[in-house]
């Protein structure tokens, strides 16, 4: 499911299909997808705020992964 609605395309690699809940691509290290393409279901309104929210959440997750102890860090998708 993906949408191409003029100024609001989204969902081409949505959470649960291509990326997981941490925005990582399973099997690929050191890569997160943080843009409108990762929106899992088509929103009924403008998506700029959704993208900003995802970016804030992703930066929190990346900071947490980087500051985790080394053993724990190896278990986190980066």
Ligand X SMILES: Cc1cc2nc3c(=O)[nH]c(=O)nc-3n(C[C@H](O)[C@H](O)[C@H](O)COP(=O)(O)OP(=O)(O)OC[C@H]3O[C@@H](n4cnc5c(N)ncnc54)[C@H](O)[C@@H]3O)c2cc1C
Query: Of 3, 8, 13, 15, which one is the catalytic site residue?
Result: 8
Secondary structure of residue 19 in the 3-state scheme:
strand
Smallest gap from residue 45 Cβ to ligand X (A):
7
Query: Taking CB under 6 A as the criterion, which residues in 22-61 touch ligand X?
Result: 35-36, 46-49, 51
Closest CA to 33 of 16, 58, 52, 10: 58
46 given a catalytic annotation: no
- Taking CB atoms within 8 Å and a gap of at least 24, the contacts of 57-62 are 58/23, 58/32, 58/34, 61/22, 61/23, 61/32, 62/32
Q: How near is the Cβ of 17 to ligand X at its closest, in Å?
A: 16
Nearer to ligand X (CB atom), residue 34 or residue 76: 34
Catalytic residues: 8
Residues that bind ligand X (CB under 6 A): 7-8, 35-36, 46-49, 51
């Amino acid at each position: 499911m993906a949408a191409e609605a003029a100024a609001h395309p989204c969902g081409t690699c949505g959470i649960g299909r291509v990326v997981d809940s941490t925005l990582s691509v399973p099997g690929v290290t050191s890569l997160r997808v943080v843009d409108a393409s990762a929106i899992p279901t088509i929103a009924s309104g403008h998506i700029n705020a959704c993208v900003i929210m995802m970016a804030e959440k992703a930066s929190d997750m990346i900071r947490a992964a980087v500051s985790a102890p080394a053993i724990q860090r190896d278990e986190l998708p980066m």
